[in-house]
Structure 1
């Protein structure tokens, strides 16, 4: 997690470099959402609005931002288009995206936003797997699985994996857009519906209700019950570790949701 820096408090050299690339900046609005970028702002320029995010080049998180830049051409139009990048502007790595006016969805039971989010899951699952050195789901969760269990996560589908509602935008046309592609992953198609199900449970759905919702996605049709159970138990261990090392309330809710989900898997076995 990084502390957000207001636009006017950024180094002058960085602001000048962004201005040279973006054109004349007439206004800047620093955003409060998100945790991984020290710079996150909407810029009004003579050519229109642009969203910029940035991180210092000596910060470990710059690797995730580089992954986001690399995957972007392969996930349009689901993701806002990357317009340009500055890989070393006064010691900062900066990405500029098309600005999408929208709101973050509600995952609460009965939310009218859920069909659009489910449609985005299906859209992503239909995209070709790019020929890139992506993270592999078998390795990403290997710490919490034995070798045979991890193999069940293998596949040839492009995954987002982080369905935090802050990573989804619902514009006026109602078609969900997916942002913050820091962890593009290769794996089984059913993993993304599972990642969404966990977020739905944390938002107040029962495990059965969450699974019923994500079962509407085409990707869920390929989900073996045993593999889903394995993945649920791995998420219990993962989120318990995450919450123990940084006990923020939302992380504790995710750990609780994972336990609820895994308990539901055992009950239905």
Structure 2
């Protein structure tokens, strides 16, 4: 369930005091429109510099688990992600403060000048060794309900995966280059899964399934992928997004369900 963002000025004063005790006096604050997993998502200009603040209530157990996962993984993904400056659980909230990276979110539309940067950052991530963290989810378990018990094992692997390549989770820096943010769904699994998650987003942005796969094939994680495993993941993704769209019938979820189905149909035709 997506969270509605709360502006800095609407936060309880004790919580704002706790933030300023760590970040410095807040001169101005701007709520970020993108992002679905945090109730607080704000750029803070402070007397000590600019930071990006994320926060979720401690009582929101699913969001809290994701927040803690993101904090645990950060030190291992600094090659592709902003650095976590500090974290705190105080005044009923879990808070994460990251270094601020100026720029904008990636545009995945056909012909976008950012697609090469997106592939490059995916390849940088592929070179990151998956840490041994209990917070990491396992791909074969995460998709087992949609892949089936007999085929879920094809999704297992030792690669560190982000798995949520929505355009708002990829920042294009003001001086070029791309950064991956929001590690709520960090997972260990087969290396082709991240390129596959990206290609469904590309289809949703207007690419054909064939074109999206050609972009995925430029990602190092796709190399050597077993065709059967890719087919299983495509079918599982279509079932997963269909369930997500039915559970909460928002337009963007319905669009993702249609895009995942287009890829699954393409894979069936290719097979």
Q: What range is the shorter-chain TM-score in? A: over 0.9
Equivalent pairs counted in the alignment come to 268
Q: Are residues 1:91 and 2:88 paired?
A: no
Q: Which residue of 1 aligns with 2:199?
A: 197
Q: Which residue of 1 aligns with 2:123?
A: 122
Contact 2:27 2:45 in 1 (8 A): yes
SS across alignment from 2:150: helix
Q: Which residue of 2 aligns with 1:18?
A: 19
Q: Which residue of 2 aligns with 1:106?
A: 107
Instruction: Report the Cα distance in structure 2 between the residues aligned to 1:230 and 1:30, rounded to whole angstroms.
Output: 39
Contact 1:105 1:113 in 2 (8 A): yes
Instruction: Report the Cα distance in structure 1 between the residues aligned to 2:153 and 2:10, rounded to whole angstroms.
Output: 48
Task: Write the mapping of 1:155-166 to structure 2, written as runs, cut at 5 A.
Answer: 155-166=157-168
SS across alignment from 1:226: helix
Deviation at 1:154, TM superposition (A): 0.8
Deviation at 1:255, TM superposition (A): 0.6
Give 5+ residue unaligned stretches, structure 2.
none
Any idea what the Cα deviations from partners look like across 1:114-143, whole Å, max 9, x if unmatched?
000011111111001111121000000000
Q: Which residue of 2 aligns with 1:168?
A: 170
Any idea what the Cα deviations from partners look like across 1:149-193, whole Å, max 9, x if unmatched?
111101110000000001010002221100000011000111100
Instruction: Report the Cα distance in structure 2 between the residues aligned to 1:219 and 1:258, rounded to whole angstroms.
Output: 19
Contact 1:163 1:199 in 2 (8 A): yes
SS across alignment from 2:141: helix
Q: Which residue of 2 aligns with 1:27?
A: 28
Question: TM (normalized to structure 1)?
Answer: 0.98
Deviation at 1:263, TM superposition (A): 0.7
Q: Which residue of 2 aligns with 1:184?
A: 186
Q: Which residue of 2 aligns with 1:233?
A: 235
Question: Which residue, 135, 142, 145 being the options, matches 2:144?
Answer: 142
Deviation at 1:40, TM superposition (A): 1.0
Deviation at 1:147, TM superposition (A): 2.3
Q: Which residue of 1 aligns with 2:66?
A: 64
Q: Which residue of 2 aligns with 1:208?
A: 210
Instruction: Report the Cα distance in structure 1 between the residues aligned to 2:181 and 2:233, rounded to whole angstroms.
Output: 24
Instruction: Report the Cα distance in structure 1 between the residues aligned to 2:19 and 2:220, rounded to whole angstroms.
Output: 41
Instruction: Report the Cα distance in structure 2 between the residues aligned to 1:77 and 1:154, rounded to whole angstroms.
Output: 24
Contact 2:79 2:124 in 1 (8 A): no
Runs of 4+ in 1 over 6 A off after TM superposition: none
Q: Are residues 1:55 and 2:56 paired?
A: yes
Deviation at 1:55, TM superposition (A): 0.7
Give 5+ residue unaligned stretches, structure 1.
none
Deviation at 1:227, TM superposition (A): 1.0
Question: Which residue, 133, 154, 157 being the options, matches 2:156?
Answer: 154
Contact 1:189 1:222 in 2 (8 A): no
Instruction: Report the Cα distance in structure 2 between the residues aligned to 1:51 and 1:67, rounded to whole angstroms.
Output: 17
Q: Are residues 1:37 and 2:38 paired?
A: yes
Question: TM (normalized to structure 2)?
Answer: 0.97
| Superposition RMSD in Å | 0.9
